Chains A and B, each alone.
Chain A
């Protein structure tokens, strides 16, 4: 589709000639600042070595999820009170989240279920921990982004003590998780008595 992007890009690179700091600041101009909180969602990917599963837990504010469901499916359901709508929402989430192997093959994720916890709606997925354990994979997350302006999704991948964090916004595409790296806790640091 024909869009104005080329012109804006030109202006941006001209600005960067004028002054690095201006360009940097402007590009960092991140998120909308309503006087009430902005739109964020969180996904936690956890290597559960006890069960052998890679557990994925997505957390949304119920109000955001309800708005997205309404936009995406024209559903008018009261998400906080309708288990059916909650299940609908899970199906929506599943379509917009994916893990891919290094060669970009989509990993099969099982939808485990969803639940409400105070003002949050959690959606759960899981799959087997990749073999070998150290394998890297891609994460793609466009949940809520088409429906909610300025949506920012944070993904934490946790293996033992190590947390790798990724941020997804409209157009972020796939991001590579390097795979679990063994991390020594700080228990062995020499300490002065």
Chain B
């Protein structure tokens, strides 16, 4: 425990970016919240310019693959060979090339395995607990199964030959999950290299060992030996990315941070048992060889259908589960301009499809397809393909028309994962004792939510190709924001779990926090950091700061600029400003580079009235103010006691000063006033006279910034007559004093303020509602409010109570103790 805490402290020290707040002040405590970000962001250049656009010399590499792969179902073994053509579009000469061999993470001696912290934060797999002073070590059955899985298997790539086109061997070295290729001569700018690799590996059981792919076994299926679902991802040697801003993106795969790859074209031939159904990135090139007439016909109908059409019905899939293959079949897929390739295969799949129409778009019809075993049940039939289509409808408005010809959702052991044109999603139904398959409301929310999210990832980062290893938030944050928009457009009543700004408050006030702009492997509280907080920030930017028109236009600009290209956070920040026309550096700096939270306090309201300078008016007012003051306590007590004062006992000794008070006006004052008025400039006199006539109410509101983040101040003014009005003060109000500001509000005569509330709709993630209210109101805590609610109206069982009969007088005498709870 102490070790974990001290590690956290150490990480915070290491992870602090240099001067996110600008130059440290040594005199006074001014901090420049509105400092422009230019000095923090990377210098703009001809590859990515200062406007956040790809520069006029933008380049990116390309990697094309021709792969033949064979699945040995019984042995759960994959063997394959590929010809890779790597195109060097950079101005650089490349002495070596890097590839990812991700399956090697499952080797017993992988860096991930060796560095696994027993009893600490587990990886993707099961839990274990190190011994503490009082308790013995614990190991979960899941962790035992994982270790046994490792014992039984021999995972990782078995590499075959690596050769050039002419068969000459190509020098290469394998380092963990990376491979380096050393061509004889450096690969010059504009040149390409074609080489071949052969490999094989054992597919691991996903439930046991974890990971983003693998097989799942179904022993209870009506077939000797049961059935498997195979999900294949990270299954081939993939070219690592090489960029203008980082060079080779070659870091050991440790299981957590995902990453980025190059766009390219794929031709993949997948040989599987001939009774399997294959779902894959890309378009099927040889339906005549692998599909039945009925299946081809149904696909054709599905292209223009308005509801999903079965290509393989549940009955057919059930039958197919029992069968055995007669031999093998080869499914050929072609995919253009994708950054990765994944596929799935099983004889268990039910398959449905529906065409999504995008008239006028570069891809007019996109085939949305779902694949699921009977265990997915009605939940999948009803909601999977419709969720895919809904995602394209919503995301298309914010970015671009879906450019790929297919998009799929496949049910298997993986909970949720994205690849170009194919996603793996985990929700299942439960088989009840009566043979029915049921699902809970939560499982439904999970299915619709995860399909939207994973399909959404096709836009970010599969097409807008950000580097997830470096900046997890760029795809997870933007995608979480959009999936919540899509969720609320599906059904705002559904209990979505995506956070609103107010839900982020506990995270934003917490101690063990790092800024959003932190490298992926160092992030603490990963979910709120990379998914929740960026999503909330974007909602605030959209609904509160920029407004939907400006925001939507800016996000669309960013998406379209970087479609099929490689953006960085700087490109996003710059584009959003350029396209919206609003300076947002304070916003990015505060929300993305610091761990400040929002807490704006309304400290005082002063009510003021203009002095007219005219003694006949002002002196009278002063007298009224004096008379309005409470009577002095001593004087009141004297009166109550009944005694008479000296002046009351000697009325004949009064003089001028007894009849006139300090507020009596004399001509001396009046002359002074006239002289003052005469000496004014014309415009001064006019302004004064008008102000006197209008007699407005002046209020000065004092705010302080307790949380650190400068934010716009949204005010709800409540008037004495009950009316309410809203005022929006832009965040720039804090630019010269980020700690305290005052605002003058001028209201017309007769409009008197009764109460003012800051952020009445809880838009800004303000952490303390107590100080938002002036005069202060007592805001009940969450539990106080819950107790109040519980004893009130909403606790009635209305369904039951509505059957209660009307009581007649005779009944009342006998039923006197009926409680009205």
Contacts and interface: CB of A to CB of B under 8 A. Distances in A.
Interface string B113-132: 01111111111111111101
Contact of B441 (A23, A78, A173, A190): A78
Contacts of B522: 28
B440 A80 contact: yes
A31 B522 CA distance: 10
Interface in B217-262: 254-258
B440 A170 contact: no
Given A48-B784, A50-B778, A36 B453 contact: yes
A63 B416 contact: no
Contacts of A1: 136-139
A63 B445 contact: yes
A182 B432 CA distance: 56
Q: Which 8 A-B pairs have the closest CB atoms?
A: A26-B115, A171-B129, A165-B511, A119-B497, A36-B416, A78-B440, A80-B441, A165-B510
B509 A26 contact: no
A24 interface: yes
14 contacts: A26-B116, A33-B257, A34-B124, A35-B457, A40-B528, A44-B506, A62-B497, A78-B442, A167-B4, A167-B8, A170-B127, A170-B129, A171-B128, A192-B29
A27 B442 contact: no
B740 A187 contact: yes
A169 B454 CA distance: 27
B142 A26 contact: no
B781 A48 contact: yes
Contact of B507 (A5, A63, A154): A154
Contact of A27 (B117, B704, B740, B783): B117
B121 A31 contact: yes
B115 A171 contact: no
A17 interface: no
Contacts of B736: 193
A51 interface: yes
Nearest to A31: B526
Contacts of B445: 62-63, 80, 119
Nearest to B109: A11
B527 A37 contact: yes
A140 to B, nearest CB: 11
B30 A191 contact: yes
A173 B1 contact: yes
Contacts of A106: none
A93 interface: no
Question: Contact residue range for chain B?
Answer: 35 or more
Contacts of A170: 119, 122, 127-129, 138
Interface string B42-71: 000000000000000000000000000000
A186 B600 CA distance: 12
Given A8-B116, A79-B442, A29 B256 contact: yes
B512 interface: yes
A32 to B, nearest CB: 4
Interface string A64-86: 00100000000011111100000
A77 to B, nearest CB: 8
A33 B124 contact: yes
A22 B395 CA distance: 40
A163 B525 contact: no
Interface in A151-193: 151-152, 154, 156, 158, 161, 163-165, 167, 169-175, 185-187, 189-193
B440 A115 contact: no
B787 interface: yes
Residue from A61, A78, A171 whose CB has the most chain B CB atoms within 10 Å: A171
A187 B738 CA distance: 11
Contacts of A48: 781, 783-784
Question: Contact residue range for chain A?
Answer: 35 or more
A79 B441 CA distance: 8
A98 interface: no
Contacts of A53: 783
Contacts of A165: 510-513
Given A37-B531, A63-B497, A80-B495, A29 B442 contact: no
A106 B513 CA distance: 29
Contacts of A38: 526-527
B118 A146 contact: no
A46 interface: yes
B680 interface: no
A119 B445 CA distance: 9
B582 to A, nearest CB: 26
Contacts, number: 273
Residue from B122, B123, B135 whose CB has the most chain A CB atoms within 10 Å: B122
B29 A26 contact: no
A124 interface: yes
A32 B119 contact: no
Given A36-B450, A192-B30, A171 B138 contact: yes
Interface string A41-65: 0101010101101010101011100
A64 B735 CA distance: 43
Given A80-B440, A116-B495, A8 B509 contact: no
Interface in B268-320: none
Contacts of A154: 506-507, 510, 512, 525
A4 interface: yes
Nearest to A142: B129
Contact of B118 (A8, A24, A81): A8
Interface in B615-639: none
Contacts of B506: 42, 44, 59, 154, 156
Contacts of B258: 33, 35
Contacts of A63: 442-443, 445-446, 497
B416 A35 contact: yes
Residue from A3, A24, A28, A175 whose CB has the most chain B CB atoms within 10 Å: A28
A133 interface: no
Residue from B1, B254, B528 whose CB has the most chain A CB atoms within 10 Å: B1
A101 interface: no
B147 interface: yes
Interface in B767-811: 778, 781-784, 786-787, 789-790
Contact of A163 (B128, B509, B739): B509
Interface in B513-560: 513, 521-528, 531-532
A134 interface: no
Nearest to B258: A33
A66 B476 CA distance: 25
B10 interface: yes
Nearest to B126: A149
B28 interface: yes
A165 B498 CA distance: 22
A26 B739 contact: no
B111 interface: yes
Given A48-B784, A156-B510, A173 B135 contact: yes
Contact of B127 (A40, A81, A145): A145
B440 A169 contact: no
Contacts of A51: 781, 784
A35 B453 contact: yes
